[in-house]
Structure 1
Amino acid sequence: MTDPTPRRVTSADVARLAGVSRATVSYVLNDTPHQTISAATRGRVLDAATSLGYAPSAAARALRTGRSDVVLCLLPDWPIGPEVGALLGNLSTGFARSGLTFVAHPGNHADRPIADLWKAITPAAVLAFTDFSAAEITAMRAAGVALVVGLLGRGTAPRRELAVPQQRVGRLQAEHLTAAGHTTIGYAYPDDDRVRIFAEPRLAGVRAACATEPSVRIVPLDPAAAAEAVRRWHAEGVTGVCAYNDEVAMAVLAGMRRRGLHAPADLAVVGVDDIPAARLAEPALTTVTTDQAAVAAHLATTVLAAINGTEPPATDLTGIVTVIHRDSA
């Protein structure tokens, strides 16, 4: 009967095939300096490793170097849309360039205790997007795990190593509308409580840019419910709406169609994220976008600095948020 669990290829297998010692295999594969290994021997080792499909053990490497090469990213219970997906992809690429492996774990603290996750992986660093308890922070740092809180935590510790400018997102939405002459503005708030951590600072940015308090209404991703929000805005004299994101903005557009209204003549609408469907909306959606590659580069630099015990370089992220003007506003 075939063994369902194949045996892992080891450095001893590579050594036998290449006709060298395990130490030589280790020197070659780890590119150890100050070793006098001929080009021919190095080539045999690399060819043997490739032909066998050899992958060094992460656990063994951590024991040898005293540090894992894994960065563990703990995501809250967020919907993984195009923007978060782009950020994760850019982070993976950025860390790979520094020889680090990026592992993302979506979910929340109730799914599995945080300690179970980081102890199982023994990462070099944990990149999180919400706060930890003081006990969790103490335990990770005592184990030599660098900790970076990457976004919008509500507590006071650890300090915010990164502050993605979510307020600026809302401010740019409102400024775009006010520059077009809109003085009575609405805010389309999402009905998904999981994204409140984004929605609140965006709404704060809208409020900061408006001369009067915006009319805030929850807009589900449902045409009938959105039409009711549109009806109330229209009755209040609202002429422009800042939506939490592009999906909510498109719900507003759907609600307007039900009411026989048109954007931007009856109600101008501005979204956030520039998802692919935004340019296909009718009318094409004006939106605010964030350069996720720049966010990822800053996060990667911040994590590497935390691992190495140095201060990350100061970075101004305000310029990475821009308005894409289309037909809806």
Structure 2
Amino acid sequence: MPVESRPRRVTSVDVAREAGVSRTTVSYVLNATPHQKIPDGTRQRVLDAAARLGYAPSAAARALQSGRSDVVLYLLPDWPVGPAVTHTLVRLSTALAAHGYTLLAYPRAAGRPVADVWRSIEPAAVVSWEDLDPADVAAMRAAGVLVAVALLRGPGTAEGSLEVSQQRIGRMQAEHLAAAGHRRLGYADPDDPRVRGFAEPRLDGVRAACADLGLDEPVVRTVPPDTATAADAVRAWREAGVTAVCAYNDDVALAVLAGARAAGVDVPGGLAVVGVDDVPAAALAAPPLTTVTTDQEGIAEHIAALVVAGLDGTPPPPRLTSDVVRLVRRASA
């Protein structure tokens, strides 16, 4: 397949030539510059010429005129990007668009240094779901770039941060199972090292709840997306007296359900299971999966409000409350 050469960008000079006016007149019309006496006919001629040529001012030109960029750089973490993160990304993009900002997502897994990325884009703000190097934060702030860290707060980012307690998520799982009468719990750990930053605090939450409730330490087993290995984990839990499992997330919980079927263990009669995230497949599982969900829409709107407040110099919104996390009760536990 032939590769086309890069097309030449239409400029305001082209529009001026097409409309038969000066470039200054084009600038006045397209930028709606106040206090300029441009005849209506001339104004319409410029607008028509711009439309015919498909002219759009560059982001750099818009930033030069307004004094700041309208781009918010979203550093996509090196995690498996499932429905929860995708939903938040869509909601955040929509919420920022309502304030005139464009969200640009960049995967950190691509390996390009963060400094190279933001300097090439010159965004108004950077949103990260992971801690950033303090030197990067300092450089961005020196360049007038707002830094907002979501979910995990790092050094130097306190005024533009959002924290959702992963320990609370694990505690909520364990407390629900204990309230249902389960006295020996297991924890289904993921086999993906990229999510340790979430899995470990969730397990800490399960452990803390067990300690507070007078239960033994949870029995931890790593459960990959493999039915045979999951079945081995289910058998090991049952031999250890485990009657209920807190899974790292719904994907791991679904693997536990598959393993229970393969091992001939009834859910929830022989083993109750609780996941995290409430992915679409959770409600369709057999049995439907009890899970802990986070208000992704609320989180997205909160991040957008943090960014807009920071850029406008207004007070940040109140911190999210614990209500952002809730249990969805279904038949698996």
1:268 aligns with 2:268: no
**After superposition, what is the alpha-carbon deviation per residue over 1:234-292, rounded to whole angstroms, capped at 9, x for unaligned?**
11211111111111001101111111001110111111111121122111111122221
Paired residues for 1:197-212 under 5 Å: 197-210=197-210, 211=213, 212=215
Distance in 2 (CA, whole Å) between partners of 1:322 and 1:37 is 58
1:253 aligns with 2:257: yes
Distance in 2 (CA, whole Å) between partners of 1:305 and 1:19 is 43
Give the root-mean-square deviation of aligned CA atoms.
2.3
Q: 1:140 to 1:41 in 2, by over 3 A?
A: same
Paired residues for 1:10-89 under 5 Å: 10-35=11-36, 43-89=44-90
Matched to 1:298, the amino acid is H
Matched to 2:55, the amino acid is Y
Alpha-carbon distance, 1:124 to partner: 0.9
Matched to 2:184, the amino acid is T
Distance in 2 (CA, whole Å) between partners of 1:294 and 1:244 is 22
Query: Gaps spanning 5+ residues in structure 1: where?
Result: none
Paired residues for 1:177-196 under 5 Å: 177-196=177-196
Matched to 2:313, the amino acid is G
1:309 aligns with 2:309: no
Q: 1:224 to 1:9 in 2, by over 3 A?
A: same
1:229 maps to which residue?
Answer: 233
SS of 1:150's partner is strand
Q: 1:321 to 1:38 in 2, by over 3 A?
A: farther
Distance in 2 (CA, whole Å) between partners of 1:78 and 1:106 is 10
Alpha-carbon distance, 1:21 to partner: 4.3
Q: 1:28 to 1:199 in 2, by over 3 A?
A: farther
Query: Gaps spanning 5+ residues in structure 2: where?
Result: none
Distance in 2 (CA, whole Å) between partners of 1:34 and 1:168 is 57
1:170 aligns with 2:170: yes
Distance in 2 (CA, whole Å) between partners of 1:327 and 1:296 is 29
Q: Is the 8 A contact 1:221 1:251 kept in 2?
A: yes
Distance in 1 (CA, whole Å) between partners of 2:194 and 2:75 is 15
Distance in 2 (CA, whole Å) between partners of 1:87 and 1:170 is 21
Q: Is the 8 A contact 2:134 2:155 kept in 1?
A: no
SS of 1:216's partner is strand
SS of 1:162's partner is strand
Alpha-carbon distance, 1:27 to partner: 3.9
1:95 maps to which residue?
Answer: 96
Matched to 2:175, the amino acid is E
Q: 1:17 to 1:82 in 2, by over 3 A?
A: same
Q: 1:44 to 1:214 in 2, by over 3 A?
A: farther
Moved more, 262-271 or 7-16: 7-16
Distance in 2 (CA, whole Å) between partners of 1:298 and 1:32 is 34
1:281 pairs with 285, 288, 293, which one?
285
Q: 1:234 to 1:142 in 2, by over 3 A?
A: same
SS of 2:151's partner is coil
Q: Is the 8 A contact 1:78 1:107 kept in 2?
A: no
Distance in 1 (CA, whole Å) between partners of 2:295 and 2:29 is 39
SS of 2:274's partner is strand
- TM-score, normalised by the number of residues in structure 2: 0.89
Distance in 2 (CA, whole Å) between partners of 1:120 and 1:4 is 23
Moved more, 314-323 or 76-85: 314-323
Matched to 2:117, the amino acid is L
Q: 1:37 to 1:276 in 2, by over 3 A?
A: farther
Q: 1:233 to 1:51 in 2, by over 3 A?
A: same
Alpha-carbon distance, 1:222 to partner: 0.9
Matched to 1:140, the amino acid is M
Alpha-carbon distance, 1:166 to partner: 2.5
1:134 aligns with 2:138: no
Matched to 1:247, the amino acid is D
Matched to 1:283, the amino acid is P
**After superposition, what is the alpha-carbon deviation per residue over 1:144-194, rounded to whole angstroms, capped at 9, x for unaligned?**
1111111214x4333272102323322222222222222221111111110
SS of 2:234's partner is helix
Q: 1:196 to 1:38 in 2, by over 3 A?
A: farther
Distance in 1 (CA, whole Å) between partners of 2:68 and 2:77 is 26
Q: Which runs of 4+ in 1 moved over 6 A?
A: none
Tell me the percent identity.
62
Matched to 2:168, the amino acid is R
Q: Is the 8 A contact 1:165 1:317 kept in 2?
A: no
SS of 2:126's partner is strand
Aligned length: 326
Matched to 1:178, the amino acid is A
Moved more, 259-268 or 235-244: 235-244
Distance in 1 (CA, whole Å) between partners of 2:183 and 2:313 is 49
Paired residues for 1:137-152 under 5 Å: 137-152=137-152
Distance in 2 (CA, whole Å) between partners of 1:19 and 1:158 is 52
SS of 2:239's partner is helix
